[in-house]
Amino acid sequence: MDTTTAGRVLRSEWTKITSVRSTVWTLAAAVVVTVALGMLISLLIRNTFDELSTADRITFDPTLTSFAGTSLGQLAMIAFGILVVSGEYSTGLIRASLSAVPRRGLLMAAKLTVATALALAVGTATSFLAFFGGQAMLGDHRTTLGEPGVLRAVFGGGLYMGLIALFAMGATWMLRSPMLSFGVLMPFFFLVSSILANVPATEKLGRYLPDQAGQRVMSVVEADDRPYGPWGGLGIMALWVIAALLGGYLLLKKRDA
């Protein structure tokens, strides 16, 4: 690959992604929502800790509590992934992009590289901010980065946020339409996934969905009998991401702009 061409494509994708207000605002929203909600729930837990049952106290996970805002913050990361891809289709810019970069694999790789770097940077910063903010609210029930498994969980939280954005990108390349992508992904991750993972009839299947498996990496205390550990759960999520990106790539090569 011509490194000069690749560099130009990367700079072009950086400009396209960072110059659009909606993508910048979704990243900012991911930080604010995740950190603020995590701190609020941590404060509520601190004030009601004595009312918890014995079983809940034994399985209490102060690290995971800090990430309580991830359930909503991830929606902003999903929106980021959707907008990065669908913006070109909704505006017709995809035709100009493909004319300038006929090698569709190169175009996709450049966009993925830039978006991944942004998502992982924001996700990691969000994870650390959420952890420290949540622990400050928990008071005597807090933990520290030096405790076993905590640093892994915090870094894992950043990886999870980055992976969820990548999954959304792959799915959007397959769906192309921004409305369809939002209509499918938002309800699924906000509602359907949680229902499938908590209803006895579908619980075992639900545990292998991308978000349910990936979020296991943010836990330090094992509160259930899942057949995989923290990194195993993140690995399952990574397989979902690879499948989504592969599907997006195959359809990008096959279909007209």
Which single residue is written with the structure tokens 């400009």? 15
- Taking 70 as the threshold, does the pLDDT of residue 203 lie above it? yes
State residue 102's pLDDT score.
67
- Ranking 6-10, 213-217, 227-231 by mean pLDDT, the lowest is 6-10
| pLDDT tens column, 105-144 | 888 888 999 999 999 999 999 999 999 999 999 999 999 9
Banded model confidence at residue 257, pLDDT cuts 50, 70, 90: low
> What pTM was computed for the model?
0.92
Please name the residues in contact with 237: beta carbons below 8 A apart, sequence gap of 6 or more: 160, 163, 167, 210, 211, 213, 214
State residue 2's pLDDT score.
60
| pLDDT tens column, 44-83 | 999 998 888 888 888 899 999 999 999 999 999 999 999 9
Q: Domain coordinates of the chain in residue numbers?
A: 3-254
Banded model confidence at residue 237, pLDDT cuts 50, 70, 90: very high
Q: What is the mean pLDDT of the chain?
A: 90
